[in-house]
């Protein structure tokens, strides 16, 4: 990875939530330790499990809670409009960034405009490790960054290409437009994603859902299987 020393560059983190009280505490604990993060913006879509109360109880001045109508693309755009950082990282509530993530992102060369991390599941078994391997291989080949890879982007570039669409698969659609302008960067560091969804459905059944959704997206057909995304809202 090519880096330069630019300590004045800032990073805002945007996290969409909907009933994420079980996952959010570990996430915020990790982010609070990162002094290169200037904002931690939680955009809640109507939680009823104590998520908002937990966020409001935090004392770190970098943490902000915003309300939004539910829908990941809508919530992400809401957070991006509030962000003041030179970079924005769009980060899932059930995913942990590696140590020193803020420093690495804010130190990227000027030629890098957007990218993401390699992916790893928590509670990994051989099936989940295989899914992550396919996930990372696909990204390295296509340059497309999924939302669960903690997509990061320069703020100026994000708005130049219009932000996220406010519908399903906003991450793929954003990647399609971004790749027309600039290549993505896949960092070698791995983020750790909660494996709850894949374990609940069964690893290969969940993978089949994902492949079906991707094929429908590529063919511009109705996505279907939208309930696959529900626990991540």
3-state SS of 45-73 is CCCCCCHHHHHHCCCCCCEEEEECCCCHH
Angle between helix 203-218 and 126-142 (nearest 10)? 20
pTM (2 d.p.): 0.83
The confidence band for 5, taking pLDDT boundaries of 50, 70 and 90, is: very low
SS3 assignment, position 39 = strand
The confidence band for 122, taking pLDDT boundaries of 50, 70 and 90, is: confident
Report whether 121 contacts 193 (CB < 8 A): yes
pLDDT score, position 9: 87
109-144 burial: b if 16+ Cβ within 10 Å, else e: eeebbbbbbbbbbeeeeebbeebbeebbeebeeebb
| DSSP conformational letter for 3 | B
Tokens for 27? 């996430």
Burial of 5 (0-12, 13-18, 19+ CB in 10 A): exposed
Q: Comparing 3 with 29, which gets the higher pLDDT?
A: 29
Report whether 43 contacts 14 (CB < 8 A): yes
| pLDDT exceeds cutoff 90 at 96 | yes
pLDDT score, position 120: 87
Report whether 114 contacts 152 (CB < 8 A): yes
| DSSP conformational letter for 98 | P
Report whether 85 contacts 111 (CB < 8 A): no
How far is residue 207 from each of residues 50, 63, 222, measured CA to CA in Å? 31, 34, 18
Closest of 42, 92, 71 to residue 194, by C-alpha: 92
End-to-end CA distance of the chain: 32
Q: Comparing 74 with 124, which gets the higher pLDDT?
A: 74
Reported as a single tens digit per residue, the pLDDT across 14-26 is 999 999 999 999 9
Domains located in the chain, CATH noted:
11-232 (3.90.550.10)
């Amino acid at each position: 990875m090519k880096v330069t020393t630019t300590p004045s560059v800032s990073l805002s983190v945007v996290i969409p939530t909907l009933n994420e009280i079980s996952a959010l505490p570990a996430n915020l604990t990790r982010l609070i330790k990162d002094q290169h993060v200037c904002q931690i913006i939680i955009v809640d879509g109507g939680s009823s499990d104590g998520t908002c109360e937990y966020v409001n109880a935090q004392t770190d001045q970098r943490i902000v809670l915003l309300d939004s109508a539910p829908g990941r693309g809508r919530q992400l755009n809401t957070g991006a409009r509030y962000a003041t950082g030179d970079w924005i990282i769009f980060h899932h509530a059930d995913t942990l960034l590696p140590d020193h993530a803020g420093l690495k992102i804010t130190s990227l060369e000027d030629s890098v405009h957007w990218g993401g991390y390699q992916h790893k599941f928590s509670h990994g078994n051989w099936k989940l490790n295989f899914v992550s391997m396919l996930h990372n291989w696909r990204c390295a080949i296509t340059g497309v960054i999924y939302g669960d890879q903690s997509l990061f982007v320069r703020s100026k570039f994000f708005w130049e290409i219009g932000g996220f669409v406010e519908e399903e698969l906003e991450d793929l659609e954003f990647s399609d437009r971004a790749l027309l302008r600039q290549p993505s960067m896949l960092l070698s560091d791995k983020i750790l994603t909660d494996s709850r969804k894949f374990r609940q459905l069964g690893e290969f059944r969940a993978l089949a859902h994902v492949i079906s959704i991707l094929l429908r997206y590529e063919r511009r057909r109705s996505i279907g299987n939208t309930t696959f995304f529900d626990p991540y809202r």
